[in-house]
Amino acid sequence: METTLKTHHRLLLTGAAGGLGTALRERLKGNCEVLRLSDKAGLGDAQAGEEIVLADLANADEVDAMVAGVDAIVHMGGISVEAPFAAILQANIVGAVNLYEAARRHGVKRVVFASSNHVTGFYKQSETIHADHPARPDGFYGLSKAFGEDLARLYFDRHGIETACVRIGSSFPEPRDRRMLATWLSFDDLHRLISACLSTPVLGHSIVFGMSNNAVTWWDNSRARHVGFVAQDSSDVFREAVFARTSTPDLNDPAAVYQGGGFVKAGPF
């Protein structure tokens, strides 16, 4: 049976009302004595071992109060789909700056930042890439996550704040289509990955691809071996069912050619 190491007294989870935040709410209680949950709304009442601090990431004062007194941050907040740039700017870019500035002021030295596979969405599905490949974002959302990764590097170089930039693939209860056979990350593996990032002795500024132990993959995670993440789940058990309910990809469709899938043609431009 797996045991989770309690690495921090007070851990902050942003975006706690979102899909992944909801999946992590109970799981992350094993990593800390007190789990502080934050979002703009929709968190309900605090349960045992929880605190709730509502905050808009674009509001620097609210973010400062959200971060005060925590030992580490799991930053899942912000917009997680393609959207007009004005909205992305406030939630994902201004919000990230506010978060790192608050971390600097309050002496928080470790962050797990929810980056995205859409930072590299314009690489082809026929390619295998690693963390040193240049960013090729597939939209404003992916661009904002590329900014977040660079921001995290700046705050590591200047202020020693260690960050794991976790390029999350597709984290759902099970893969929804053939693309997700390569990108799928189970909720339990997501928690294992975050736990590894929180507990590894030396994190530095690390880019880690968030994927389960899938037979088909486009991402080489070898540059993140020091994090110590070992995926336990795999999309392979869903392969037969996914093939049965989906059609053969049209290789004239950019969504079937590029790793970003539908994001390469989504959005307002």
Tokens 């789909």 locate to 81
CB 203 within 8 Å of CB 108? no
Tokens 């201004």 locate to 94
Name every residue whose Cβ is closer than 8 Å to that of residue 107 and which is 6 or more positions away in sequence: none
Closest by Cα among 91, 61, 59 to 76: 91
CB 208 within 8 Å of CB 224? yes
Cα distances from 117 to residues 122, 143, 145, 207, in angstroms, run 10, 11, 9, 11
Catalytic (active site) residue 258: no
Rounded Cα distance between 167 and 113, Å, is: 9
Catalytic entry in 100, 123, 141, 155:
141
- Residues with a known catalytic role: 141
